[in-house]
Chains A and B, each alone.
Chain A
Amino acid sequence: MTFSAIIGAWVAAGLTLFILSFLYRDNPLFKVAENLYVGVSAGYWFTVYAYDVWVPKVWLPLSAGLLWPILPALLGITMLFRLHPKYAWVSRMSFAYMIGYGAGMSIPVTMTSQFMKQVSSTIQPLVAMSGASVDFSGAALFSIFSALVLMIGLLCTLLYFFFSAEHTGVLKVTSKMAVYFLMIYFGAAYGITVMGRFALLYGRFAELYTYSSGIYFYATPILLLFVIGFMIKFKGKKHDEPPLTEQV
């Protein structure tokens, strides 16, 4: 194990525990980690943009005598005028360019992939079945049932979000059905999200466990003791916050 890896393990374990200390109480260790995260993140993204955009797409072409980067670079510089209240209007050129591109591109893309394709995929199973010969097997009947549930669910949920008419009569029935479909969707989404969050936590704990071994000079337990000792020592200011039993 290299020296830089051992130091790295101590830094990583320490910063992880500093963030996790927030679970007990807000404290200076968490604030240190939080501000360091913001700063390192900003610095990291600067490097990424500098070496993946600025150098290959502006610096090198200009150095080679190509003039095409001048227009976008000028537009980009106009964006910085946003910081000055008197000349902030200059930045509108670059924002208009960006927004126009994004909006113009999104119209055909959204129309094709998120509207037409989704609607056609809902209708397609039913169209396919209408052309096929009659099949009363269990699997075929279940496919028909599923396709109908999908179609009815889609229509009811779309009608639920239609607020131009009052939800009475037929709309009331469809809205009620839509609520059930939405509850099933939210329940499924919740159940799936649980796994996602636990997976992320597992990743962090697995790394902390790795760094607790003798190869890394027991980084995790030593730093954990330090954090616990710090929390005991640090009483912190009295904040106007609800008692811990009331906090969710």
Chain B
Amino acid sequence: MNIFKKTLPLAICFVIGVLSFLQYYCPHHLSDEFADVLNDHMNIIYFFAYMLGLISLSMANWGTIKRKADGWGYSVLLFVGMAIGIISGIAAKGEFIANNHMTAYGWMYTYIYSPLQGTMFAILAFYLVSCSYRAFRVKSKEAGLLFLTAGLFILGRIPPGQWLWSQIFGTACGGISGITEWILNCPTLAARRAIMVGISLGSIATSVKIVVGIERQYLGGTD
């Protein structure tokens, strides 16, 4: 049984990993066809991965409703939302526009999904301002440098800030826009590039470990 639980998955990972690696460097048409096959296989597997998440979410909320736990009414609402999304989608066959008219699915996306998602992320702006007021303290040279750079970017990327700078300091060095461009293209780029290189080396090492079977956490479980 161990062969199916441990050996076979590791073998699958190794074979597919090596073939995917070789496919990138191989200019032969068979290599491209193999990539095509893998593309289609992955699409289908992602669909089932999504279904796994959907079933999990449904099971968790169904449990809440069954037990009449605290806030079970909201779980009912969750299923109502799910039904709205699925029924409108199936009715419209996944089309947002049909015969030059917005479908129910398109309506749901434009007036329910889009505003909800947009507002969830937009609300962060309020917390950004509040946190900056309460926590941004210049207590050291490093913090001072951070604040100076942040201040230059906050001012330099808006038209009134650029105008204000040009009135006080003129247009030397291309104005505040030129200065922020240089900071972005030089010291910021250096740090960003170093982080990118460091992450890439770590990512390559981890990927090699996964393909050869040293890293097995994705298998889950203790057996």
Interface residues of B in 92-147 (CB under 8 A from A): 93-94, 102, 105, 107-128, 130-131, 134-135, 142-143, 145-147
Interface residues of A in 82-122 (CB under 8 A from B): 82-83, 88-89, 92-101, 103-111, 114-115, 118-119, 121-122
CB neighbours of B118 from chain A (8 A): 16, 200, 203-204
Contact assessment for B24 and A109 in the assembled complex, using a CB-CB cutoff below 8 Å: yes
Contact assessment for B123 and A188 in the assembled complex, using a CB-CB cutoff below 8 Å: no
Contact indicator per residue, chain B 2-28, by CB within 8 Å of chain A (1) or not (0): 001100111011111111110111000
Q: A101-B38, A118-B193 are in contact. Are A83 and B121 (CB under 8 A)?
A: no
Does A171 sit at the interface, judged by CB under 8 A?
Answer: no
Contact assessment for A31 and B74 in the assembled complex, using a CB-CB cutoff below 8 Å: yes
- Bound state CA distance, A144 and B2, in angstroms? 61
CB neighbours of B52 from chain A (8 A): 79-80, 82-83
- Bound state CA distance, A180 and B187, in angstroms? 9
Contact assessment for B54 and A184 in the assembled complex, using a CB-CB cutoff below 8 Å: no
Beta-carbon nearest neighbor of A38 in chain B: B78
Contact assessment for B44 and A58 in the assembled complex, using a CB-CB cutoff below 8 Å: yes
- Bound state CA distance, A201 and B4, in angstroms? 52
- Bound state CA distance, A53 and B38, in angstroms? 14
Interface residues of A in 124-168 (CB under 8 A from B): 146, 149-158, 160-161
Beta-carbon nearest neighbor of A150 in chain B: B190
Does B149 sit at the interface, judged by CB under 8 A?
Answer: yes
Within the complex, what minimum Cβ distance (angstroms) separates A112 from chain B?
9
- Bound state CA distance, A35 and B136, in angstroms? 34
Q: 7 tightest A-B contacts by CB?
A: A43-B85, A39-B81, A191-B153, A153-B190, A47-B89, A187-B149, A76-B48
Task: Name 26 interchain pairs, CB-CB below 8 A, sorted by A.
Answer: A8-B110, A12-B110, A12-B111, A31-B71, A36-B77, A36-B78, A37-B116, A40-B112, A40-B113, A47-B86, A54-B47, A58-B47, A89-B4, A89-B5, A93-B12, A95-B220, A97-B16, A99-B218, A100-B12, A105-B23, A115-B204, A157-B191, A157-B195, A180-B145, A189-B188, A191-B154
